[in-house]
């Protein structure tokens, strides 16, 4: 290596261009490798929202079309239901007559307590294990007026 004087500065080291290119190429390869691994992991994910359905027995999606999908589902007493927000807007899962604008939006079997998930952001989820059999009608608080209403029938 040689040292040369530069105007307005002290001495600077001169590094051969081939050494700089080799280091840049190694950095580039490392970045490409990391991005490739992340992309492969994303492609093989079974859940587009990035949520693990874990121990959920039933999964219901909340969509950008302001729907629960499926709109009607079934479960057995003791099973866990997971609602997953697959849209980019917040939703709720609400079965509380005190929070409904329309009393027809809610149905609870005798002995079942009202519930409300609170706002579920994009990609988020809410789980509930049902212990009382019967028909539950629930709604999305921000989209009740758009008839975002679902039903789940819980059997023994």
Residue 148 bears catalytic tag: yes
E strand or H helix that includes residue 28: helix 17-43
Question: Considering 1, 28, 29, 143, which one is annotated as catalytic?
Answer: 143
Catalytic choice (1, 4, 91, 107)? 91
Q: Is 143 among the catalytic positions?
A: yes
Residue recorded with tokens 């051969």: 16
Asked if 110 contacts 134 with a C-beta cutoff of 8 angstroms, the reply is yes
Active site residue 28: no
Q: Is 135 exposed, middle or buried (0-12, 13-18, 19+ CB in 10 A)?
A: middle
* DSSP category for residue 15: P
Does 43 participate in catalysis according to the annotation? no
Cis peptide before 70 (omega within 30 of 0): yes
Q: Which two tokens stand for residue 99?
A: 């929070």
Vertex 67: Cα angle to 120 and 146 (nearest 5) = 95
Q: Which residues are identified as catalytic?
A: 91, 140, 143, 148
């Amino acid at each position: 290596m040689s040292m040369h004087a530069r105007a307005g500065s002290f001495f600077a080291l001169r590094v051969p261009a081939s050494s700089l290119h080799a280091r840049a190429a190694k950095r580039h390869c490392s970045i490409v490798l990391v991005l490739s691994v992340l992309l492969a992991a994303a492609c093989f994910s079974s859940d587009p929202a990035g949520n693990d359905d874990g121990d959920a027995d039933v999964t219901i999606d909340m969509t950008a079309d302001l729907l629960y999908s499926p709109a009607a589902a079934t479960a057995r007493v003791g099973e866990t239901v997971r609602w997953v927000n697959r849209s980019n807007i917040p939703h709720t899962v609400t079965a509380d007559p005190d929070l409904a604008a329309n009393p027809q939006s809610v149905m609870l079997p005798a002995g079942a307590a009202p519930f409300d998930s609170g706002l579920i952001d994009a990609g988020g989820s809410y789980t509930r294990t049902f212990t009382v059999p019967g028909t539950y009608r629930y709604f999305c608080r921000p989209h009740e007026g758009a008839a975002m209403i679902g039903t789940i029938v819980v059997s023994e």
